[in-house]
Structure 1
Amino acid sequence: MAVVLAAGGGVWAVVGGDDGDKEPKAQQSTEPKEKESTEPTKAPEESATPEEEELDPNEIRQDGEAKVLFQTSAPKVTRSGEDVPGFWVLDDYVVKAVQTKIVAYDNSGAEKWNVPLPKTVCAAPTTANDDGKVVVAYEGRKKDECSQLALIDLRAGKKLWDKPAPEGGMFGGGYNSLGLAQSGDAVGLSWFGGSALVSVKDGNPLPVQELTAACSVKGWAGGKALLRAYSCNDGTAKLQKVDPATGKVAWTYPVRKGYEVAKIYSTSPVVIHLVNKDRKSGGLIAVKEGGKERSALDLGGQNYQPDCGMSIFGSSMGSCQGVVASDDTFFLPTALGKSSSSGLTTEIHAFDLNTGKKKWESKTDGRMMSPLRMDGKNLIAYQQPTYDKAGTIVSISPSGGKPQKTVLQLPAATREAENGFYRTRRVFDERGRFYLASERLTGDEEKEKLIMAFGP
């Protein structure tokens, strides 16, 4: 029962077990492979809105289309392909890391405040804590070093502390390909050859169970819980739940020998992606609270492709989009394929986390569709734009099938801009607002957007 999953730049084959066969079985893939301030800087009240020179899309939007709340142009970049990680949605505004600043935009797109940093933000977690505080990383003194940490209060618009990242692991510093994962009052750091756990309150290292020299942390995932994955030279690997308040290990899940954790798709409930050392076989496993296996998802011969971006060393383990987990169901998008009518398309498949069996599938001809979040028992998904249609936010019923309702129809006037995002953070909030925020800029200054926001 083979499945192809893509994460970062690699494509590999994995297999899922079933109730009678829990062991993964290898199968070769046939797929191609001046002095800084801690206070916010207020924007001048007379400053122009980012898009005032452009035609207002709301003036030409059609009946039934969503309103464009705002759109901001991408900043100039020094090179093509510059990462701009970090985007958070609060009650009545959003916050984006924009090179050397953390910037808040209100629902009209006006700058609310900005917090300057000495150098460019190079890593950020996808979640802040309940108090609206988030730890970001910015560039250090050496080339390709992502080694300085700063705590940003997203509600007050202030930097609360600024410290170098602690050293740890076989190579100490270096901080190459740094990944951050925050849960509660702790943030886990992992980079090529090192790892650490830091307190959100003061930036000091938190004690966490030390590993032997033969083992190394592969990455962290945050959000509702804090998980750490590591592997050892003897072919063993483990997944651990860590208490963000104390750094103590709450439970440990031993991964079957020869395999390691490649991605953590959900921290509560826990759903992980296992691969062998050659990344040619593996499977998706649901883990119970306490560290016992809940099920191995029966993926059959279908190819799947969640959006996990680029992570050369896999340190951004919990940053995948296009996957959603409820208490008892896991939603996963298929890989791109030709529809029966026209264009590329994807499906969404739902899996029972207790049995691992597929419950249902949802299809839409000629559209790429990706899970966003749950709305009660319904799944909210994003149907991406095509060459002649703008994107839509749809609702899928608990029994699957075709989307039963269009929640937001994005405007035809912004289809080209919507389609121009290269790597994007996608958020649909409880107020029915949909955000696209770029996480990598191509350098096309005339057309490229940093953020687009839509509402009912």
Structure 2
Amino acid sequence: MLAVALAAVLCMGGGVFWAVADDDPQPAKKPTAAPQAPDDIRDTVEKTPRTPEGRLVIDYNEDEFKKRFKRDSAHAPGAWATDKNFVRGVGNTLKGFKFGAFEEDWSTELTGPICDTTRHVTADGRTAVLLQERENKADEDDKKKDDKGKGKSKKSKKGKDKKDKDSEADAKDEYSCTQLAFIDLNTGKKLWQVKLPDAKGAFAPNTNVTMARGTVAVAWGYGSVAYDMKRGRQLWSSLGTGECRDLGFAGGRDLLALTQCGDGAEPQFKVQKLRPRTGKAEWTYKVTRGVGRVYLVSSDPAVLAVSAGELTVTNLITLDDHGDYRATINMPEDRFLDNCYKPVVSGVESCDAIVVGKDQLFVATDEGRLADNWIVSYDLKTGKTVRKFDSKPDLPIHPLRVSGGKLLAFRPSSDGFAPAAVLSLDPRTGKETPFLLFGMPDRGKLEDPKQSEILLEDGRIFFAPRELTAENGGPWEGTALGALGFEGA
């Protein structure tokens, strides 16, 4: 008989208690992660909480939102968690929060609005953010006024056209994403900042920043560059002056580059595994012609998502350690939730709804198209279905990450009273075990992975809206919800 964990909700005197029983006589040995160097990309193994009963530890609200941003909503890229705190990026600010304090621990003002981030974090809690170029704009405006005063008083049509073009270029330069900053997430300290070389064409959402061991890599469609993590020293660059150009990178345990060659009408996409410190290719995989878009799902194991049309993913392709083709997994239209296409962020390393493990990948069916949804696992070598994890009626289930050989998934509350849950799913046996159970307040669509970043780190789960929106009425009027977080008691 399979061990079954039963969670019972007992409401007594206004309190909520969780009773958990498991018929396993001996607890399984907890998996442990191998020691990592500071410059390694974090690869942690989650430890099962002492009790799955959850409590609120992060409740971040952006007060006077309209006053600060001069509008009702704003894109909010960037949400990270370490074992010490939770960090949120909003506008040109990073804010750090200690668990259970319910107020910001530190705030770091950046030189411009955040236009791209990476989900990767180093083993010692550092990450990279790409910023809009907003420096020295006043100086440029003053210089233009001086130049205008020295020019001829008579205006010609040619001069007017040139002025309009210059103004257009200045407006683009002002918002180009050419500043790269490296941040300590535990303290909020900016460790270094550099300006990307020859990156005038770097505009969101065509920019992409990621990290592999010891290296921060950036691409913007017309060029790419990599920097050393320690000091921000440039390691290598490519200006894309030939027929091929780097569209973006995927980081983590390895560094993959997505390259497009030829014209836009019939592009040839290539995926290369690069040595992070030199940019030299170790292998190259050519994607079949006729593909309209390619996403880099995972660098190790290497998994690609391709679209035969404009945006929707139609197939997943798995590669081996040498970059050779292994298998194709069909993704019928509107059947699965891949979450790859996001119109306001980089479209290369963005498939956060597809979870890749050592031997299998996991993807959920789209509950918006079906009465109920489920998670399907596929073998990376063969592309064949391995297992189906069913959800409960009218309760969607979403894969979050693989940890210690188990798939951790999120299931929201059914009615606002029953708990939301993080579940531990065993790919070998199909066994489902509660990992974390918590009450989720009704504050927008936080539980929808299309609209929120959902992070699981160090036994805690966090919900961060991809767009902050001010409440128009009620007790939260004028305030935008920035994030919620829960941990085991």
Task: Tell me how far 1:238 sits from its aligned partner.
Answer: 0.6
CA deviation profile, 1:376-429 (whole Å, cap 9, x unmatched): 23211011345545522112222465x6222222215x2446648773221122
Check 1:419–1:408 CA distance in 2 against 1; reply closer, same or farther (3 A cut).
same
**1:262 corresponds to:** 294
Task: Tell me how far 1:328 sits from its aligned partner.
Answer: 0.7
**1:67 corresponds to:** 55
Q: Which has the higher helix share?
A: 2
Could you say what the CA RMSD is over the residues aligned between the two structures, in angstroms? 2.8
* In 2, Cα distance between equivalents of 1:394 and 1:280: 28
Q: Relative to structure 2, which stretch is displaced further, 193-202 or 222-231?
A: 193-202
* In 1, Cα distance between equivalents of 2:404 and 2:178: 40
**2:93 corresponds to:** 101
* In 2, Cα distance between equivalents of 1:263 and 1:426: 20
Task: Tell me how far 1:354 sits from its aligned partner.
Answer: 0.9
**1:121 corresponds to:** 114
**2:316 corresponds to:** 284
Look up the SS of the partner of 1:290 in the other structure.
coil
1:370 paired to 2:395: no
Stretches of structure 1 that go unaligned for 5 or more consecutive residues are: 1-58
* In 2, Cα distance between equivalents of 1:270 and 1:452: 32
* In 1, Cα distance between equivalents of 2:297 and 2:108: 31
**Aligned pairs for 1:166-315 within 5 A:** 166-168=197-199, 172-177=200-205, 178-208=207-237, 211=240, 213-233=242-262, 235-259=267-291, 262-276=294-308, 278=310, 282-299=314-331, 303-308=335-340, 310-311=342-343, 315=346
Task: Tell me how far 1:190 sits from its aligned partner.
Answer: 2.7
Q: Is the 8 A contact 1:175 1:192 kept in 2?
A: no
**1:20 corresponds to:** none
Equivalences, count: 387
Stretches of structure 2 that go unaligned for 5 or more consecutive residues are: 1-12, 19-52, 135-172
**1:324 corresponds to:** 355
Task: Tell me how far 1:224 sits from its aligned partner.
Answer: 2.1
* In 2, Cα distance between equivalents of 1:104 and 1:439: 17
Q: Is the 8 A contact 1:393 1:406 kept in 2?
A: yes
Task: Tell me how far 1:309 sits from its aligned partner.
Answer: 5.6
Task: Tell me how far 1:280 sits from its aligned partner.
Answer: 7.0
Task: Tell me how far 1:366 sits from its aligned partner.
Answer: 0.7
Q: Is the 8 A contact 2:446 2:452 kept in 1?
A: no
Check 1:319–1:298 CA distance in 2 against 1; reply closer, same or farther (3 A cut).
closer
Identity %: 25
Task: Tell me how far 1:338 sits from its aligned partner.
Answer: 6.2
Q: Is the 8 A contact 1:209 1:248 kept in 2?
A: no
Look up the SS of the partner of 2:108 in the other structure.
strand
**1:438 corresponds to:** 465
Q: Relative to structure 2, which stretch is displaced further, 232-241 or 59-68?
A: 59-68
Q: Using structure 1 for the length normalisation, give the TM-score.
A: 0.76
Check 1:455–1:437 CA distance in 2 against 1; reply closer, same or farther (3 A cut).
same
CA deviation profile, 1:317-364 (whole Å, cap 9, x unmatched): 11322221111101011122566xxxx532110001111101111121
**1:19 corresponds to:** none
**1:353 corresponds to:** 380
Opposite residue 213 of structure 2, the aligned amino acid is: G
**Among 435, 439, 460, the residue aligned to 1:411:** 439
Task: Tell me how far 1:272 sits from its aligned partner.
Answer: 0.7
* In 1, Cα distance between equivalents of 2:186 and 2:484: 21
Opposite residue 463 of structure 2, the aligned amino acid is: L
Check 1:174–1:428 CA distance in 2 against 1; reply closer, same or farther (3 A cut).
closer
**1:44 corresponds to:** none
1:154 paired to 2:185: yes
* In 1, Cα distance between equivalents of 2:218 and 2:283: 20
Check 1:338–1:191 CA distance in 2 against 1; reply closer, same or farther (3 A cut).
closer
Opposite residue 334 of structure 1, the aligned amino acid is: T
Task: Tell me how far 1:138 sits from its aligned partner.
Answer: 1.9
Check 1:144–1:208 CA distance in 2 against 1; reply closer, same or farther (3 A cut).
closer
